[in-house]
């Protein structure tokens, strides 16, 4: 039983390291390590807040909720305790939801909810294979009460 627990802990540690390596590889040049480590918590907060925003299409909000529910389940399509690939399906589902939110709602709406740095938003876009910049364009519809805090 101890060997099994050690094996599971090792697998989870290896999966986390693999995710960090992928993030480091996709990170913009000069991105601080602290921003890099905060990408995943910021992403979770983004999924939650976007799923509550009425400016986001209902179908996209459902995708975001599916991604949240899928990620909190330890046993899903590929169980999370399987090294590396166990978390890969979670990454794919999350990327699907984020890509959908960015494409359908626009970067302005998504950036209203992003609490990370512009560099970490650029990293998120790279990981989702989107070519967007963290600047707001003139056409983005931002309500004053929904603007991003500094």
- Tell me how far apart the alpha carbons of residues 100 and 81 are, in angstroms, rounded to a whole number: 27
CA distances from residue 86 to 14, 16, 22, 56, 128 in whole angstroms, order as listed: 11, 11, 15, 30, 18
Residue 54 confidence (pLDDT): 94
Least Cα distance to 17 among 75, 93, 67, 87 occurs for 87
Walk along the chain (150 residues) and give the pLDDT tens digit of each residue.
777 778 767 766 666 676 677 777 888 788 888 888 788 889 889 999 999 999 999 999 999 999 998 888 777 788 777 776 777 788 888 889 999 998 999 888 999 999 988 888 888 888 888 776 555 443 444 443 343 443
Cβ atoms 90, 19 nearer than 8 A: no
What residue spans define the domains of the chain? Answer: 2-146
**Residue 103: how many other CB atoms lie within 10 Å:** 14
Cβ atoms 94, 65 nearer than 8 A: no
Provide CB contacts within 8 A for 16, sequence distance 6+.
Answer: none
Residue 14 confidence (pLDDT): 65
Residue 30 confidence (pLDDT): 82
Residue 140 confidence (pLDDT): 44
Residue 50 confidence (pLDDT): 95
Angle 91-38-78 from CA coordinates, rounded to 5°: 20
Provide CB contacts within 8 A for 49, sequence distance 6+.
Answer: 113
Residue 142 confidence (pLDDT): 41
- Give the chain's end-to-end CA distance (angstroms, integer): 49
The values of phi and psi at residue 85, to 5°, are -70, -20
């Amino acid at each position: 039983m101890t060997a099994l627990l050690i094996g599971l802990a090792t697998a989870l540690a290896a999966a986390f390291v693999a995710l960090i390596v992928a993030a480091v590889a996709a990170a913009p040049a000069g991105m601080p390590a602290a921003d890099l480590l905060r990408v995943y918590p910021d992403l979770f907060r983004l999924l939650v807040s976007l799923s509550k925003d009425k400016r986001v299409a209902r179908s996209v909000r459902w995708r975001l909720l599916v991604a949240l529910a899928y990620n909190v389940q330890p046993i899903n399509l590929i169980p999370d305790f399987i090294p590396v690939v166990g978390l890969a399906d979670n990454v794919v589902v999350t990327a699907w939801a984020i890509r959908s939110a960015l494409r359908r709602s626009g970067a302005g709406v998504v950036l209203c909810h992003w609490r990370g740095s512009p560099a970490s938003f650029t990293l998120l876009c790279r990981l989702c294979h989107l070519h967007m910049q963290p600047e707001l364009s003139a056409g983005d519809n931002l309500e004053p009460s929904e603007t991003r805090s500094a």
